[in-house]
A and B are shown apart, each in its own frame.
Chain A
Amino acid sequence: MRFSWSRWVGIIVKEFIQLKRDRLTFGMIIGIPVIQLILFGYAINSDPKRLPTAVLSADASAYSRTLLAAMQTSGYFRIEKNVADENELEEMMAHGTVQFAVTIPENFGRKLVRGERPVLLVEADASDPAAIGNAVAALAQIASSSLNRDLGGSLAELKAVASPIDMRVHRRYNPEGVTAYNIVPGLLGTILTMTMVLMTGLAMTRERERGTFENLLSTPALPIEVMTGKIIPYILIGLVQVTLIVVAALLLFKVPMQGNPLLLYFVVLIFIAANLTLGITFSSVARNQLQSMQMTFFFFLPSILLSGFMFPFRGMPDWAQWLGSLLPLTHFLVLVRGIMLKGNTLDELWPAIWPILAFMLVVIGIGLGFYKRTLD
């Protein structure tokens, strides 16, 4: 039997009509990207500032005041309370009401002037390392340069000595370290992964659960016609989602678009196709909609955690990076960030494109193998 375009069109038309009638699903398709984008785009911040800080100061010198002021102006510390004794400080730390506890010992100012290098203790709640990383990094800078103005005249020799080399750091592609520049393009990938795999994952199992699969099977429709016919409407939906997210990224989050928008749509299309084939394969393997949902989540979690969307990809051990490289989202993140932030061209992107294509081919092979022509 040959592939029939008329049957294929018939299946696409049917899927569109059913999608149109399923208001909730349709609403979710439009609603999910908008809600997630606004929620995560505005909420997630990998550079937390104004962290609550408590101070136990036994020194009233101008130097300790300068240091505390410098900490505040760095933006990372918000001094919430000056406490009178250690126990109170310990308690606040234990309760988590403050992230930092600064202890300035007695005679801090006097020892400083004498050149005794007095100790200034900063305790940090490191139970969430990511939360304090940048703040701790800022402390070094504060310690070395904040007192420069106060240490004039005869005290000038106490100033921090300049480093023998001039180390320059250029933060390229995102010099201000705006989290949204990283998160918003990443959300494009995660939202597509979730909706595309889930929606198509339900497509075939729904037919099976409602008993309509028997009818579909009793017609001459071929597996390839059914599978691809069911995919097409979701490709269009995916493109609508992408447009929504990209427009919001540019307008709301001011994410730059350094590369070619058409190239972006091209890689998006490949990525959508890969996710849809996976969804439709889940759908052929699963016996019912619940199983299909479970498979989707089984796939979705590593996609979020190992792809580099949530945590730095290079921070993972080799085996985890290897595992992450199997996931299309990992490569897609490279592609989207590459196009939007770096202005990459097709040549530069190819190493991240072919793994997605390979994934797709393998998955569709499995899917066709599992598609049952009979009810056995």
Chain B
Amino acid sequence: MTPENQPRARGEAARDPLHRGSNPELVIDVEKLNKSFGTKHVVRDFSLQVRRGEIYGFLGPNGSGKTTSIRMLCGLLKPDSGRGTCLGYDVVRETAQIKREVGYMTQRFSLWEDLTIRENLEFVARMYGMRDRKEAVASALRELNLHERQDQLAGTLSGGWKQRLALAACMLHRPKLLLLDEPTAGVDPQARRDFWEEIHGLAAKGISVLVSTHYMDEAERCHRLAYIAYGKLLATGTPDEVLHLFRLRTWAVSGQPARLVALAAELHGEPGISHVTAFGNTLHVTGEDEAELEKAVSKYFDEKDLAWRKAEAGLEDVFIHLMQSAPEAEQ
């Protein structure tokens, strides 16, 4: 509760007014946020800028600090150090204002399972002190096609419906910024597609969205991406920029499954090869240097049962590469 106890880097304060707050286009602008639980340094020097109306994808393996970062942005956790703003409000001191204007969807379903859909929405509407509560709830039910199920207990809903309800609840007070923590985990592909259409619709209306995910197809649907691992932000940029962060070259090879498993083991750790990933019946062999990669794989070109072709390195290849070159030893 003491906002003064964060170290401020000297000199940075001077450029502060130019850099933050004054730029209305930035809905999230945080710098060097840190968070530890006990001896575990969960988030290190986390900096992020999200522009208005942007869908910002937040990627990283489990336990990389995504949820902790999001919680710091919406005032649920107090950063140990660092500073910044969310919707122009200070993330340490003005959490009450942030809470009122941000919609936060938790990773785990966190509405009340023993309340009905309508009761949940009405409760949330009351918490935000909405004057037009009845209308807001009715229109939320209508928009999300939850009208017929309004008297069903939230706990009896399937995963997809729970997710729709959670989204409806965090949208209810018409927030300017949505923070969605793995909103599509455990949801079927159709529901995921619908969900992303909804998100794009919202972004078109000027609502900014920060969404964390594990799915590469979802990452590609974002305007910008950030990749975090071991509490450190490793890369940011548009999907295209991230894709070309490294000059990754990939060879795809298909063949008998048993042979591919053996081949993966043989190629693993060879000079010129950064990683080998299985995609169904093909193996992606990726390296940073075209010549060295080719040298490593060319000795298998003659093998009869294997079919080799050049492939595009995908986001997943980039992230795996990032993971492997990350300084995990700091843990």
Contacts and interface: CB of A to CB of B under 8 A. Distances in A.
A21 interface: yes
Interface in A1-45: 1, 4, 6-7, 9-10, 13-14, 17-18, 21-22
Given A1-B96, A18-B115, A376-B77, A9 B126 contact: yes
Interface stretch (B98-106, B228-236, B284-292, B313-321): B98-106
Contacts of B110: 210-215
B108 A211 contact: yes
Contact of B124 (A4, A213, A219): A219
B77 to A, nearest CB: 6
Tell which of B71, B102, B113, B123 has the most Cβ of chain A within 10 Å: B123
B140 interface: no
A376 B112 contact: no
Contacts of A137: none
Nearest to B106: A214
Given A7-B127, A14-B123, A218 B76 contact: yes
Contacts of B74: 218
Interface residues of B, number: 32
Interface in B79-97: 95-96
A315 interface: no
Contacts of B1: 373
Nearest to B170: A218
Interface in A161-218: 210-218
B206 to A, nearest CB: 22
Contact of A220 (B99, B114, B153): B99
Is chain A's binding surface mostly helix, strand, loop or mixed? helix
B161 interface: no
B119 A220 contact: no
Contacts of A4: 129
B71 A375 contact: yes
A44 to B, nearest CB: 38
Nearest to B72: A374
A211 B109 CA distance: 8
27 contacts: A6-B129, A7-B126, A7-B129, A10-B122, A10-B123, A14-B112, A14-B115, A14-B123, A17-B114, A210-B113, A212-B112, A214-B108, A214-B110, A215-B106, A215-B110, A215-B111, A218-B75, A218-B76, A218-B104, A219-B124, A219-B128, A220-B96, A220-B99, A220-B100, A221-B127, A373-B95, A374-B76
Interface of A: 1, 4, 6-7, 9-10, 13-14, 17-18, 21-22, 210-221, 373-376
Given A211-B106, A219-B124, A220-B129, 5 more contacts: A9-B126, A218-B106, A220-B100, A375-B76, A376-B78
